[in-house]
Structure 1
Amino acid sequence: MSDEPTVVVRTLADLPSFGSGDLSSQILADETLGVENVGVGVVTIAPGARGSRHVREVEEIVFVLSGTGRIVTEDDSHDLAAGQAAIIPPGVHHYHENTGDEEWKKLWIFAPQGPEKAIRARGE
């Protein structure tokens, strides 16, 4: 067995899903894989559903893979569609809502890590 670093390939279909039927996340990379500085995953939000209002102590970056939705802050709202990204600074209260007729699927990145632990706590 080698101590050399290696590429890790993950497939969404093979990963556990954390959350409810309306909003669930799958974790692609975090400290459990030896990734030290960021957490990465995919969240899927059902049509008409929205997440709870929350605030993070880390930067949150989302990139829309499919569907349409909105990020709502205390002062503004931002509509996003496939191919668009949003950067949410630490300390900004917000929620995510699906405004379309299909699943809203987004890649999320937390820098540094942290929130993915709460995602795991939701259970499978």
Structure 2
Amino acid sequence: MITKLRIDPALARDEFGTRCQRLVPWSGDGEPPLGAMACFLAPGSSSEPDCHSQDEVIFVLAGTGRVELAGESTPVTAGDVVVLPGGLEHVVHNSRTDGGATLSWLSVYWPLHETPREASA
């Protein structure tokens, strides 16, 4: 059976300081090995700092911005792919401050569920 979804900012909800539309998992049978969501960040905004055990790949769809990873920063624009290893804090910034375009990207992460952090002694 084909499952078809459409990326639509109107279907996004507030998460991580941005608007996110969960794409995977979907409401089908079984649980997929990964998750995916479309993210939309308003001009001049930044996502909340995030750190999780999953590896993540960001596919920039539109707009311009910057990704910070563990103190390192790189500019991004449509067509860029950014790899975020698990366990490192990251923040996404929309560099437009003139009311320009929303920065949008597709985030794919795996495994689907975050590995619990070990309790500190």
TM over 0.5: yes
Partner Cα distance (1:62, 1:37) in 2: 17
Write the letter of the residue equivalent to 1:83: G
Mark the runs of 5 or more structure 1 residues left unpaired by the alignment. Answer: 1-5, 116-124
Give the match for residue 104 of structure 1.
Answer: 103
Report percent identity of matched pairs.
Answer: 22
Partner Cα distance (2:31, 2:13) in 1: 20
Mark the runs of 5 or more structure 2 residues left unpaired by the alignment. Answer: 115-121
> Within 5 Å, which residues of 2 pair with 1:23-102?
23-30=18-25, 32-33=27-28, 34-100=30-96, 101-102=100-101
Poorly superposed stretches of 4+, deviation over 4 Å: none
CA RMSD of aligned residues (A): 2.1
Instruction: Count matched residues.
Output: 109
Structure 2-normalised TM-score? 0.80
Partner Cα distance (2:77, 2:84) in 1: 16
Structure 1-normalised TM-score? 0.78
Partner Cα distance (1:69, 1:13) in 2: 20
Give the match for residue 119 of structure 1.
Answer: none
| More moved, 8-17 vs 93-102 | 8-17
Structure 1 counterpart SS, 2:11: coil
Larger helix fraction of residues = 1
